[in-house]
Amino acid sequence: MVNHDQCMNLDPVFELIGKKWTGLIIHALLKESKRFSELHTTIPSLNARMLSERLKELEEKGIARRTVYPTTPVRIEYGLTEKGKALEPALLELSKWADDWIHE
Amino acid sequence: MVNHDQCMNLDPVFELIGKKWTGLIIHALLKESKRFSELHTTIPSLNARMLSERLKELEEKGIARRTVYPTTPVRIEYGLTEKGKALEPALLELSKWADDWIHE
């Protein structure tokens, strides 16, 4: 059973993954790092400006990481940090709940 | 690993639990049903109007239930439906993540 203190630390988590698109971006990066264009294709209804904004926020929060490969042309990939990957169990439980209760 | 279809059904879930206060209200009701005043005390920074609004939304979504006991005075309690209680595993995982990564 989740106790009261656990409850209070949930607020920032809800705020984080509740922000429009954030949860989907984290999920899209769980399997592998992706380039901006690949991410943009994975979530078509998300415009480029918003995707860029959300990625910056996720970097600032230490959940996503941006890697620049010095190739020609330069290759930039976005991936999850350990902190980001650690969200997978919660995403799985949320997805199971959605399967059971939203798509009955 | 969470696959692509699971991803798409996550959007409504993020929207649901991401809405300010909703996650905390669901969590507060996990242990037992509560009266409005008890709920209000459990989440002090949440004003009564917003709590009432969120409870109505949760009722409409079939996640919370309002029970009126015909005592004198009348007693009204809010509790979770099966659908609401089924969110507990996800809340537990989110809480574990918060413990590990937000309150390092």
Contact status, residue A81 vs residue A62, Cβ threshold 8 Å: yes
Residue of B1, B87, B97 lying closest to A97 (CB–CB): B87
Residues A88 and B94: their CA atoms lie apart, in Å, by 10
The enclosing domain of B18 has a CATH number of 1.10.10.10
Chain B: residue whose CA lies nearest to A2: B92
Structural domain boundaries, residue B37? 4-102
**pLDDT tens profile A48-72:** 999 999 999 999 999 999 999 999 9
**pLDDT tens profile B3-55:** 555 555 678 888 888 888 998 899 999 989 999 999 999 888 899 999 999 99
Residue A74 distance to chain B (closest CA, Å): 28
Number of domains in chain B: 1
